[in-house]
Structure 1
Amino acid sequence: MSLFGLKTSNPAFTNYFWENPRSKSASGKMTLQGVIAKSVFCLLLVTLAAAFVWKLYFDGVSITWYTSGGIIVALLCSILISVKREWTMPLTLIYAIAKGLFIGGFSAIIHGKFPYLPFQAVIITLATFLVMLFLYLAKIIKVTKKFKSVIIAATTVIFVIYITAFILRFFDIYISFLWSSSWYAITFNVIVAIFASLSLLLDFDFINKYVGKAKKHYEWFATWGLLVTIIWLYVEILRLLRKLAVR
């Protein structure tokens, strides 16, 4: 069973994006090494873009346009990837840079108030990624259809809440359990971080099914999908650490 035709909570791994992935006209096949290489390269772009904005912030330069522009461009890239699959490679690179600008500014602001918190979030994110990869490879957690349905349903609700909260902020309406440091807000943040972590298992499973079968350029879809989940996980962990620091 799946929700809205999705096989993973990550939009990059929907049936739509992977339509006819086993076409005989493909030149080369998707490999795990290819996905890893592209993912590492894009994470490097994220890091460089984040470091650029980080430096600007501590040099006293306003970074509002960088952070706001970054999240908007990243959103536009995601939309374009959904309708122009042949543009996935350049759009994924732009997405990585744009998200780097956003998290660079977001992280710098938090670091300014709570020193070294972003570095802790990076370490926890990396550790979580490795743990989830181990759990998947060791088959300690099996990605069954029921498991997928639960994760997809939960993440769909989470994103609806976030989108609704984002729109309400334009009307000066704030959802307290999203932005405050109350124990309700912290509990919600913990739950979101858990589902972000579990989403990695679904992504690993979907990529594994198409290694050696999908066309070579689908490695960029896989890379974009992993970026979406990893950056989401990092942001949630950093938000959680900030709330705990305030407490």
Structure 2
Amino acid sequence: MQSKNPVFARSNEFKSGGYATFDAPSSGRGAPPADASASTLEEWYRKPSATPTQSRRMTLDDVVVRTALLGGVLVLGAAAAWFANVGLLLAIGAALVGFVLAMWAQLSKKVRPGVMFAYAAVEGVFVGAISHAYSSLYDGIVGQAVLGTLGAFAAMLIAYKTGVIRNSPRFTKVLTIAGLGYLVFGLVNLAFAAFGGTSVYSAGGLLPVLVSGFGVVLASLFLVLDFDYVEQGVRNGLPVKESWRAAFGLVVTLVWLYLEILRLVAILRGDD
């Protein structure tokens, strides 16, 4: 069972098969046997390594710290774009560059913290520009969207940890189909609006609320996949460097969730 967050789906390290499914590390001591037991893995990690930092296993604290670092850079980029009041063209350019950087970080077999930080900075410019544009129309909307994002994150984390929502093959399959459908819908809607049509989100009535609300729920549920595969990574005893990949996946999902909530709040306030 693979995570459908593209960051984790690309990485063998976060599969449930454990560290025995990884490519052999470059520490000079090779990978543990495919049938290694927990005690064998413990002994393997204690062996001398050409790169001592790789002998330490990833912990939840490592993921939290790196998520905070990437999130901090994103917030700084957003603040810079906000106060500079960057234009729409620069915002679109930042979004495209951010997409390329995200794909680079995702598709690379090597963990690339530098690329991840670059993504956070560039994506922050896009988020800051979009947030400023919405704020000029609806006072206080950014604070509402931030609180909504934090609330959704906390709710999904509690639901996951208490077992109310758990990952499963069926859950992953349904969420994947829904995510792909939502992506196709978004691209079609964008193309339709670009050629003079009316966007679903500006059509008025209940439909925009339902569609945007679906996007918020979908992004929130993807957090469950992220939590599950972070937990799998910690349980499988990944090297500490893999915490960067886990943190990056969470940041990508949180940015998506924030933008969906921002749009939903704007639609709701526009109907007042």
Query: TM-score if structure 2 supplies the norm length?
Result: 0.80
Shift of 1:25: 5.1
Partner of 1:237: 261
Contact 2:111/2:242 (<8 A) preserved: no
Which residue, 48, 58, 82 being the options, matches 2:106? Answer: 82
In the TM superposition, residue 137 of structure 1 has moved relative to its aligned partner by 0.9
Separation in 2 of the partners of 1:133 and 1:90?
A: 28
Rg larger in structure = 2
Give 1:12's match in structure 2, choosing from 7, 12, 35. 7
**Deviation digits for residues 152-181 of structure 1 (CA, Å, limit 9, x no counterpart):** 1111111122233344555x1546324444
Gap regions ≥5 residues in structure 2: 14-20, 28-53
1:55: how far off?
Answer: 0.7
The answer to whether 1:145 aligns with 2:169 is yes
Indicate the residue corresponding to 1:113 in structure 2: 137
1:158 and 2:182 aligned: yes
Amino acid at match of 2:63: V
Over the residues paired in the alignment, what is the CA RMSD in angstroms? 2.0
Which one scores higher on RCO, CA 8 angstroms, separation ≥ 6?
A: 1
Residues 74 and 98, structure 1, Cα contact 8 Å, conserved in 2: yes
Length-normalised TM-score, structure 1: 0.88
1:41 Cα deviation after fit: 0.9
Cα distance in 1, alignment partners of residues 26 and 191 from structure 2? 44
**Residue type of the alignment partner of 1:196:** A
Choose 124-133 or 23-32, whichever is displaced more.
Answer: 23-32
**Unmatched 5+ stretches in structure 1:** none
Percent of aligned positions with the same letter in both sequences?
A: 25
User: 2-side partners of 1:8 and 1:164: how far apart?
Assistant: 25
Number of residues paired by the alignment?
236
Shift of 1:138: 1.1
Rate the CA distance shift 1:183–1:81 in 2: closer, same or farther, 3 A: same
1:163-213 Cα shifts (integer Å, max 9, x gaps): 33344555x154632444431111011011101111101110011011152
Q: SS at the partner of 1:182?
A: coil
Q: Is the CA contact (8 Å cut-off) linking 1:114 and 1:245 kept in structure 2?
A: yes
- Corresponding residue SS for 2:249: helix
1:55 lines up with 2:83 in the alignment: yes
